[in-house]
Amino acid sequence: MEFTRISNLEIALGILALVSYFYLGFSVYLRDPKSWTNRLFIIFAFVLGAYTIVNPFSLHPVPPTPESQLFWIRMVIFVASFIGPILFLLVHTFSQKEITLRKKYLFLIFAVILANALASLTPLIFESIAYPQGEPVPKVGRGFLIFVLNFPVMVSLSFGLLVRKHFRAVKEEKTKLFYFLIGIVATFSLMVFLTVVSVAIFKTPIGVFLGPITPVILVSFIAYAIVKHKFLDIQPIIARAVSFLFALILFAAIYAALIVLAVRQFIPIPLNTSALILLFALMLAGILSFQPLERGMRKITDKFFFKGEYDKDELLAHLTRIMAETIDLGELAQKILQVLTAEMKISKGAFLVVDHHSIIAVEEVGFSGSRLQTPELERLYHKDSGSISSFIFEELEEGEIKNVFRRLDIALAVPVRVEKIEVAVLVFGPKRTGERYHSRDIEFLQVLAAEVGIAIQNAKSFSEIKKFSKELEKRVDERTAELQETQERELAKAKEVVRLKDEFVFLAAHELRTPVTAIRGFLELTEESQKKFPRDIQNNLTAIAQASEHLNQLINDLLEIARSEGGVTIVNVGPCQFEPILREVLEETVALIRQKNIVVKIDIKPLPPVLCDPAKLKEALLNLLGNAIKYNKDGGIIDISVWRHPEEPRFIFEIRDTGYGIPKDRQAHIFQKFFRAGTKGTGDVLGTGLGLFITRMLIEKMGGAITFSSVEQEGSTFAFTLPLAEEGTHATRAKS
């Protein structure tokens, strides 16, 4: 009897299938070890793995004897007896965490497995084996019905159930079941084609050895259905494949060896002892070196595909530094998210800033900001325990929140509180590696969340202060502008009032001037004929003349004041000689001086040209000299002295009289408008009370100052200073 030797292709395919089963099985299982769907999946993968190991032995028995081949064929049936029921159970449980099949059916399934498995080891299913044409043909026993009842029925039932579930399911669940269905259809049709069709129609068992490979398709599809698209992230598969291959091959080898060793209890398989020892030694070395090897490989692959696994402490320090350096909320969130997504290989992330239980701002990297502003995420706060907790998509119960997570592609959410106040929800998308969030990730993110919470709180306060200060600034500006406007308006109003007043005074004074001019003119015309009038009439005419002079002076003074207060008095300052102006004034007043028998003493020191407006200076001098005469006693003295200031470029004019003087208590008011000292003895002196007021105004306008001193009944002294023209430039026309 010749048995074909096992080919290298067969071995390679077997290893590939085995590695696939282990990889898919573990990947799915580790995503959520508590889920029964995942548990059944890995069991299913292991059963198929066992099938993959046993099947080659049935074609190439070890040892190469008919008994051995029959045994291996029985073993294939033994392993296969598990496939149907477990597939059925998996389909029934699919995507739930708990087993959904009722207990009695569960019991029934176990019974079927047990019966089939036990039967397969006895001649009940395959009695014997014959080689009619050199090809092994096992003789079917009476118990074969059990296998028929088990495998095809269970697979059919699974298929039916799957179709029914698919029809009833909606949305994502429907898609998942659809993948599952494709897997089953593809696998079994291929399996049927390769084994039954090829053997029955093409009369060649060539497809038989390919049989065990086909379930890889099914397993792949189921795995994909369970973990969705995340699973097929191609990058991590490549990245992990190298290191995992080692581990998986080792697992596969151990698994195979255990099966072979178990089988040896029944059939003596000759094994080279030294080879066996070597194998074990290799395995041990492999297992012992697996961890560092795996880590090393991971590091290398990570470095190649990503930028290395993140170092918790380093990352936290980095983020803490960012939080310390950044105070603007948006900038802070963006910086942290960018670092987090890059370092932790998270596809996307967002900070949902919460204020008074609602999301007020969203800072995101990769997410759609507007979609995240949803009240369901605000409600996460009602669900957590009060301290920082996290919500992981896979662990959520089916319901509203899970649906929101699904819809927005959120894998993890961490609501953050600072001193019991809700601050923000940190939201993360799935990892780019397709892995789930490990506990170290979650622990890290929780620690970070506490810090981020405080940083966000600070940033919020900062932005509030900034906003407040901006608002304040704006208001101050507004009010200032308002005030300025009001001020300008009021000022314009006041100016208008002043202008109107001046206009009125001006016009009124002019209206008054005309009749005064007429009175004075006609009096003058009568002058020559006056001598013919009786004495008393002459006296009356003189009184009228005096009164009209006074009236004229009053009007002139009023006009001067109106002009000055309206700002229209123009002082034409320029260099001029002082003495001639004084002489002119004395000439004009000489009649009055003689009338009162007053002695005028003059002491003028030589002066350079002075800076003044001659007309205004004359007016001021007339006022001062007029006062010194009017308020002097008959036969009094007037002392006039003029001299240059010893240090400054100014000169001083002083006029002293021996008149009635000004009482002390009234001295403070003498430069005020309409003020009359009313000193005893001056009752009959005509005055307007405007002379000194105007004098001071004129002197000051020309850049000088006026002072006085007085003793009642002894006399007064007035003095003013004016600048000399010799120094610096001087305005020829200063308007003030």
Partner 1 sequence: MKKKLLLLIEDNPLLTGMYETAFVKAGFEVAFAHDGELGLSLAKDKKPDGIILDLLMPGMNGFAVLERLKKDRITKGIKVIVLTVVTKQEDLERAKKLGVVDCLIKPELTLAEIVKRVVALLGF
Interacting residues toward partner 1 by CB under 8 A: 506, 510, 513-518, 520-522, 524-525, 552, 555-556, 559, 568, 570
In terms of CB distance, is 494 or 568 closer to partner 1? Answer: 568
DSSP 504-550: HHHHHHHHHHHHHHHHHHHHHHHHHHHTTS-HHHHHHHHHHHHHHHH
Asked whether the beta carbons of 174 and 166 are under 8 A apart, the reply is yes
Alpha-carbon span 446 to 444, nearest angstrom = 5
**Nearest-approach distance from CB 521 to partner 1, in angstroms:** 4
Residue environment code for 695-729, b if the CB has 16+ CB neighbours within 10 A, otherwise e: bbbbbebbbbebebebebeebbbbbbbbbbbeeee
In terms of CB distance, is 468 or 522 closer to partner 1? Answer: 522
In terms of CB distance, is 96 or 517 closer to partner 1? Answer: 517
Alpha-carbon span 70 to 61, nearest angstrom = 9
In terms of CB distance, is 70 or 555 closer to partner 1? Answer: 555
Q: What is the signed CA dihedral for 39, 40, 44, 49, rounded to 10 degrees?
A: 10
**Nearest-approach distance from CB 501 to partner 1, in angstroms:** 16
Picking from 696, 695, 701, the residue whose alpha carbon sits closest to that of residue 736 is 701
**Nearest-approach distance from CB 525 to partner 1, in angstroms:** 6
**Nearest-approach distance from CB 619 to partner 1, in angstroms:** 11
The SS3 of residue 598 is coil
**Nearest-approach distance from CB 513 to partner 1, in angstroms:** 4
Alpha-carbon span 26 to 23, nearest angstrom = 5
Q: Which two tokens stand for residue 388?
A: 């920082």
**Nearest-approach distance from CB 564 to partner 1, in angstroms:** 13
Give the DSSP letter of residue 273: H
* Residue 191, number of CB atoms within 10 A of its CB: 21
In terms of CB distance, is 259 or 523 closer to partner 1? Answer: 523
Omega before residue 63 within 30° of 0, cis: yes
**Nearest-approach distance from CB 506 to partner 1, in angstroms:** 8
Give the β-pairing of 137-140 and 574-576. unpaired
Q: Which two tokens stand for residue 178?
A: 């659809």
Asked whether the beta carbons of 275 and 315 are under 8 A apart, the reply is no
In terms of CB distance, is 131 or 522 closer to partner 1? Answer: 522
**Nearest-approach distance from CB 527 to partner 1, in angstroms:** 9
In terms of CB distance, is 506 or 643 closer to partner 1? Answer: 506
In terms of CB distance, is 516 or 573 closer to partner 1? Answer: 516
Q: Which residues contact 256 (CB under 8 A, 6 or more apart)?
A: 18, 53
**Nearest-approach distance from CB 605 to partner 1, in angstroms:** 32
**Nearest-approach distance from CB 640 to partner 1, in angstroms:** 25
In terms of CB distance, is 527 or 579 closer to partner 1? Answer: 527
**Nearest-approach distance from CB 528 to partner 1, in angstroms:** 10
In terms of CB distance, is 581 or 655 closer to partner 1? Answer: 581
**Nearest-approach distance from CB 587 to partner 1, in angstroms:** 15
**Nearest-approach distance from CB 608 to partner 1, in angstroms:** 28
Alpha-carbon span 655 to 710, nearest angstrom = 12
Sheet holding 650-657, edge to edge: 599-604, 637-644, 650-657, 715-723, 705-711
Asked whether the beta carbons of 579 and 640 are under 8 A apart, the reply is no
Give the DSSP letter of residue 272: -
**Nearest-approach distance from CB 613 to partner 1, in angstroms:** 11
In terms of CB distance, is 379 or 513 closer to partner 1? Answer: 513
**Nearest-approach distance from CB 510 to partner 1, in angstroms:** 5
Q: Could you identify the residue written with the tokens 């569960």?
A: 106
In terms of CB distance, is 186 or 508 closer to partner 1? Answer: 508
In terms of CB distance, is 317 or 568 closer to partner 1? Answer: 568
In terms of CB distance, is 278 or 590 closer to partner 1? Answer: 590
Q: Could you identify the residue written with the tokens 């014997």?
A: 128
In terms of CB distance, is 171 or 531 closer to partner 1? Answer: 531
Alpha-carbon span 155 to 149, nearest angstrom = 10
**Residues facing 358 on adjacent strands:** 355
Alpha-carbon span 38 to 44, nearest angstrom = 10
Alpha-carbon span 632 to 343, nearest angstrom = 106
Q: Which residues contact 676 (CB under 8 A, 6 or more apart)?
A: 687, 689
Name the strand (E) or helix (H) holding 720.
strand 715-723
Helix, strand, coil tally for the chain in percent (to 5)? 65, 15, 25
